[in-house]
Amino acid sequence: MSVSDLLQGALQLGAVAVALFIVARALILRRVLVDHPYRARALWAAVGGLTFLSFLATGPVDAFFGETPTNLTGVVVEDVIWGFTFVVLFGWIASNINVAIDADYFHQDVLLWKRGGEIAGLTALFGAWFIVSLPPWWLTQVESDIAGDVISIVFVALVVYSSAVLVVSYRRIADRRIKTYTLWVAASIASLLLLIVLPPTISILAGLWWVFCLYQSVGSLAIRTKSLPTN
């Protein structure tokens, strides 16, 4: 094993440890926060950490079963891990967008999100998941390649659209804490896009930035807490 492989493995283990810490901290913080919007954000921050872990898990799963699994067990495992990553990730992004829009005093819609953008994104996501879930032996190689390209385009388009909605919403938020939180969420979504498009050898850097943004988003919520018991 080369030095670069060892370094990459160490960085991945470090990212996993920090992500687990973020999940634990967000859940503990949720217990002591007073205001419901902050409690909800803490919960979804924990979900964001779990999504990062599931995204990392797709690498070993793909390596073990192959990016194109050849048996039913591989298909089911791949469907579960990628399905969880896709759906929960979108839920995390969508919930943050809805809070950002609600934080606007006038509750103005942003880029048609409330008028169909959210439903269209969810529909596209489930459509992509359905295509991914098809056993590979049902498709020819050409059809499989086309499906893979379409899914990549859909996923990147959803990330870009969601980021744009969050950026516009950010400018209209009056609550400074929610505004800071939204800024870090938008940054984490941008890092996710980099994680997807960058080569594997350097994508870990985008992953580390994603974890850092999640950590900052959790810290930005730590206000107006109830007293913790001392014994």
Q: Are 188 and 217 in contact (CB under 8 A)?
A: yes
Residue-level pLDDT at 230: 43
Check residues 230 and 200 and name the one with the higher pLDDT: 200
| pLDDT tens figures, 26-52 | 888 888 877 777 787 788 888 888 887
Characterise 139 by phi-psi region: left (phi > 0), alpha (psi -120 to 50), beta (else). Answer: beta
Q: Which two tokens stand for residue 178?
A: 């929610």
How big is the chain by its Cα radius of gyration, in Å?
Answer: 19
Report the greatest alpha carbon distance in the chain: 64
| Cα-to-chain-centroid distance, residue 144 | 25
**Predicted local confidence at residue 79, as pLDDT:** 79
d(CA 148, CA 142): 10
Q: What pTM was estimated for this model as a whole?
A: 0.71
Quote the CA–CA distance of 50 and 218 in Å, as a whole number. Answer: 14
Report the distance separating Cα 118 and Cα 94, nearest Å: 7
Q: Are 56 and 207 in contact (CB under 8 A)?
A: yes
Which two tokens mark 127?
Answer: 């459509």
CA distances to 47, 50, 160, 182, 210 from 42, in Å: 9, 13, 24, 12, 16
Mean pLDDT of 187-194: 79
Please report which residue ranges of 66-117 form alpha helices under DSSP H. 72-102
Task: Kindly report, residue by residue over 116-167, the tens digit of the pLDDT.
Answer: 888 888 888 888 878 777 777 777 776 777 777 777 788 778 878 887 888 8
